[in-house]
Structure 1
Amino acid sequence: MWALRATSVLNAALMVAQPILIGRFLEGDFGSLAAHQAVGGILTLTATLVLVAAVLALVPGRLGAMPLAVAAALWVLVPAQLALGSTRLTSVHIPLGVALVAGSVWFAGWACTPGRARRSWRAPRATQPAHHSTWPPA
Structure 2
Amino acid sequence: MDTLAPRTAARTRKPRLSLWTLRFLLTGHLVAVLAQPVLAGRYLTGDVDAITVHGLVGSLMSLVAMALVAGAVAYVLGGRGQLWVLPVTVLLFLAEGLQIGMGHSRALQVHVPLGVAIVVAAVLLAAWVWTPAAARPRGVR
Please state which band the TM-score falls in when normalised by the shorter chain: 0.7 to 0.9
Contact 2:32–2:57, Cα closer than 8 Å, also in 1 = yes
Q: Distance in 2 between the 1:52 and 1:115 partners?
A: 20
RMSD, matched Cα: 1.6
Q: State how many pairs are aligned.
A: 121
Deviation for aligned residue 1:120: 3.5
Q: How does 1:1-138 map to 2 (within 5 A)?
A: 1-60=19-78, 62-117=80-135, 119-120=136-137
Contact 2:82–2:137, Cα closer than 8 Å, also in 1 = no
Provide the TM-score with structure 1 as the length reference. 0.82
Q: Distance in 2 between the 1:113 and 1:106 partners?
A: 11
Q: Give deviations 1:80-102, integer Å, cap 9, x for gaps.
A: 10000000000000000000011
Q: Give deviations 1:31-84, integer Å, cap 9, x for gaps.
A: 100000000000110100110000000114632321101110011111110000
Greater gyration radius? 1
Q: Distance in 1 between the 2:20 and 2:57 partners?
A: 23
Q: Distance in 1 between the 2:88 and 2:28 partners?
A: 15
Deviation for aligned residue 1:107: 0.3
SS at match of 1:64: coil
Identity of aligned residues (%): 35
Q: Distance in 1 between the 2:78 and 2:61 partners?
A: 27
Q: Structure 1, unaligned stretches of length 5 or more?
A: 125-138
Deviation for aligned residue 1:113: 1.1
Q: Which residue of structure 1 lines up, in the alignment, with residue 14 of structure 2?
A: none
Provide the TM-score with structure 2 as the length reference. 0.81
Q: Distance in 1 between the 2:89 and 2:55 partners?
A: 21
Deviation for aligned residue 1:108: 0.6
Q: Distance in 2 between the 1:62 and 1:56 partners?
A: 8
Q: Distance in 2 between the 1:24 and 1:97 partners?
A: 16
Select between 37-46 and 107-116 the one with higher mean Cα deviation: 107-116
SS at match of 1:29: coil
Deviation for aligned residue 1:116: 2.6
